[in-house]
Amino acid sequence: MNNHLLEFAKKRFKVGSDGLSEREERVVQHFVKRLHISRDTTQEYQKKLSFGQRLADKVAAFGGSWTFIIIFAVVLLSWIGLNSLILTRLSASFDPYPYILLNLFLSMLAAIQAPVILMSQNRQGIKDRLDAAHDYEVNLKAELEILSLHEKIDELREMKWTELITMQQEQIRLLTQLLKQRNSPSTDDES
């Protein structure tokens, strides 16, 4: 870090550059350079995903939607209805009443869908941590901006007080001079 950053870090964080974490150092650098570039952590994260990860996210999103639930309910009811209708009419069906084949398909679907959903949730957790880290950086940067504004306002107030005191001293000097002038002619008149 350059000297300005070192001074800024010492002033704000009361530590040297070695005492700052990597994230805090990055924020200080952004603040000092006045870079107002906002990052989109979602886009950054999406760019890093592989095809399989994106596919897993889409499968998990579809598996947790009303579309999936409705399609799944229609398929189940059709399976049960078709088997029951064939069983009552022909006394034979491709999957009789306890619906063992249907249970097998449901078990296979659950066995495939559960790990895919877990993978997607793990990635969502990672993304949430990235978002939290970015939020921390943004909040820290905002806090530093506010502190900087407070300093500027304090400096302006100090300058105004200094100007006011200077003006008052000048007024007192002028009033004193006027009083001396007023008192001086009157003493000349008496003599």
Each residue's pLDDT tens digit, 31-80: 666 544 556 777 778 888 899 888 888 888 888 889 999 999 999 898 88
Alpha-carbon radius of gyration of the chain: 39
Please check whether residue 159 is in contact with residue 66, taking contact to mean a CB–CB distance below 8 angstroms: no
| Alpha-carbon separation of residue 125 from 97, 118, 130, 184 (angstroms) | 42, 10, 9, 87
Residue 82 has pLDDT above 70, yes or no: yes
Per the rule left: phi > 0, alpha: psi between -120 and 50, beta: everything else, 51 is alpha
Task: Enter the tokens of residue 84.
Answer: 């029951």
Measured distance between the N- and C-terminal CA atoms of the chain, rounded to whole angstroms: 77
Please check whether residue 13 is in contact with residue 19, taking contact to mean a CB–CB distance below 8 angstroms: yes
Please check whether residue 29 is in contact with residue 4, taking contact to mean a CB–CB distance below 8 angstroms: no
Please check whether residue 61 is in contact with residue 121, taking contact to mean a CB–CB distance below 8 angstroms: no
pLDDT digits (tens, 9 = 90+) for 87-98: 777 777 777 778
Residue 19 has pLDDT above 90, yes or no: no
- What is the rounded average pLDDT for all residues in the chain? 81
Dihedral sign, CA of 74, 75, 77, 82?
positive
Residue 2 has pLDDT above 70, yes or no: no
Q: How far apart are CA 184 and CA 186, in angstroms?
A: 6
On the CB side of 129, CA atoms within 13 Å amount to 5
Contacts of 115 (CB under 8 A, 6+ apart): none
